[in-house]
Structure 1
């Protein structure tokens, strides 16, 4: 019975060590989406802890300030989990191989090697080799921490650079009407075909970063009162209006941007694991927004399709391809899709619901 227990301890230690190596490779090194239990649990725990301290009646600026702590807490929880996995794994190996006959002494020896303090090194040759190997793992965790955290920061800065550009042209309000108006102000209405490739690249960029590292979706915007989610919705609504109202005369770049953006928001929502999107339903706000966009295109003298009702149906049908997924991301991250008042209360902060956010969409 005792021998079987020792063998079991060694097996459990080997399994935990294998889980650690898989997790660290998936999170820090693997350049493709793969499910990892450490990343997933650390992310969900960090989000749950921080959002628990977000009240119902606080403003969006305060929500941003508090949610900025999600990323540091996530990194802390992930690193602690990795260290515990390694420490427990080597504890089982040291105790199971009888290098340290006492379990608690094996636990202390494992912590000594992992922390590189070296206050308790096993006296056997095998134990010394294991201590060196474990110390190398501890150093590797620290080095990887200082490697992928700057990568997170760079991804956020790249995302927010474009968000700041957008808000500067819409008078600090995420609005498809204002963005379309800015495009139409350019000489001879040539502006409606400009900039869509940049937005297409932006959507592809956040697809790469925010699906590989879903925690990035919770990191708030750098500029106070702005929202990358609101920016996404406004840009896609503008591209959608051009596609629906101009038909074949719409810029090909705008159609591609709308398609790539819709795919990006669907994949980001899937990476967050927020369940199925809400069922689409007609809303007067969508119709009113479309009418304003349609009227702006008509006033600019562009070759719009004359059947307004058909254009509206096309606009609403294509909007279903991205709006529900943006709504999911907005609910999960407590980020409104329209930031009009950054000091007043944001409804549903403590218990975000689809209804609370859908009113902004």
Structure 2
């Protein structure tokens, strides 16, 4: 019996360590680290919501339903943390024989954690443990009101740039429409302008969506828009500029494309939903899209290179991000029509073509 009490006490301490580690990883740690509670709550929230989304649902319905993923994730995480702490202190109270009955220890633990104080142990050690546990309960509530606004701020920052793009592409975010706007918006064409804003956007996404993968599932605020399609459109435009202009391509476009491709790879890895597959776009579709992008640059009077060589470069550069964007879209139920418009062929399930390796976060 003594051994059982010792094991219960040790188990309680281990559960407390697990709780504190989870809280630090989810709310405080400024680097990517895997946490079983965060991952379980995220997968549970996604599974619950996506279960009620019909395969034939339109994008507006998908957006409306997936908006519930974040609230359910927060609820599951908070409930799990509370139960973890309650069970941990139950084991400690019973293991130290502060409460001789296991069910009474569970009730005393809940009393302290909820700060109701209806059942406080009569011993000095039990009172100190109750104070400590009540502080943990308050800390969970405080963290809830701290990191949820941070989530909302990250989504709002992301969506400002998405709305900006859709406003300039007649509500259809595609690489050719964005490139056409870049080359016709002003009288003096400067193809080097605009990319730094998108570079900052991609960097911001890397900071928020890899540390908090649940943000990838939060749909765009504006009805009918998609941050994934926006990323694909900007990357396609930057890739066309780099491929067609060659050495004459501005460094701003090169850096934006490189940082964007890296961001998409890291976000796909952070989702932890398997290996991405290469989108099954037909060669003629890829060629037609490139022809449109190439024509826009040529008509603008920019020094485009050999078309065949530019196309080969375009295909090679595009392969650095297209599989990861398609993978993110499949995980978040972004419809194929939006990906088609952005130059990708996607579906609600991963394609069965040649897999691409996801880099480590």
Same fold (TM over 0.5): yes
Which residue number in structure 1 is paired with residue 326 of structure 2?
327
Which residue number in structure 2 is paired with residue 344 of structure 1?
none
Which residue number in structure 2 is paired with residue 219 of structure 1?
218
**Cα distance in structure 2, aligned partners of 1:282 and 1:330:** 15
Report deviation, 1:190: 2.3
**Cα distance in structure 2, aligned partners of 1:355 and 1:169:** 35
Could you report, residue by residue, the CA deviation over 1:173-209 in whole angstroms, capped at 9, with x for unpaired residues? Answer: 0111111110111345524211100000000000000
**Cα distance in structure 1, aligned partners of 2:281 and 2:64:** 34
**Cα distance in structure 1, aligned partners of 2:339 and 2:172:** 7
**Cα RMSD, aligned residues only:** 1.8
Which residue number in structure 1 is paired with residue 118 of structure 2?
119
Which residue number in structure 1 is paired with residue 300 of structure 2?
300
Which residue number in structure 1 is paired with residue 12 of structure 2?
13
Could you report, residue by residue, the CA deviation over 1:61-81 in whole angstroms, capped at 9, with x for unpaired residues? Answer: 000000000000000000000
Report deviation, 1:279: 3.8
Which residue number in structure 2 is paired with residue 359 of structure 1?
none
SS of equivalent residue, structure 1 residue 193:
coil
**In the alignment, does 2:97 pair up with 1:93?**
no
Report deviation, 1:251: 1.3
Change (3 A) 1:355 1:231: farther
**Cα distance in structure 1, aligned partners of 2:310 and 2:199:** 23
Which residue number in structure 1 is paired with residue 287 of structure 2?
287
Alignment of 1:259-270 (within 5 A): 259-270=258-269
TM-score, normalization: structure 1? 0.93
Partners of 1:189 and 1:300 within 8 A in 2:
no
SS of equivalent residue, structure 2 residue 34:
coil
Change (3 A) 1:348 1:218: same
Give the aligned length. 348
Partners of 2:22 and 2:37 within 8 A in 1:
yes
Which residue number in structure 2 is paired with residue 354 of structure 1?
351
TM-score, normalization: structure 2? 0.93
**Cα distance in structure 2, aligned partners of 1:55 and 1:204:** 34
**Cα distance in structure 2, aligned partners of 1:227 and 1:246:** 29
Partners of 1:280 and 1:320 within 8 A in 2:
no
Change (3 A) 1:348 1:239: closer
Change (3 A) 1:189 1:274: farther
Structure possessing the higher relative contact order (Cα contacts under 8 Å, 6 or more residues apart): 1
Change (3 A) 1:143 1:39: same
Change (3 A) 1:222 1:72: same
Which residue number in structure 1 is paired with residue 65 of structure 2?
66
Alignment of 1:72-151 (within 5 A): 72-151=71-150
Could you report, residue by residue, the CA deviation over 1:21-75 in whole angstroms, capped at 9, with x for unpaired residues? Answer: 0000110000000010110000001001100000011100000000000000000
Which residue number in structure 2 is paired with residue 205 of structure 1?
204
**Cα distance in structure 2, aligned partners of 1:148 and 1:259:** 30
**Cα distance in structure 1, aligned partners of 2:233 and 2:352:** 19
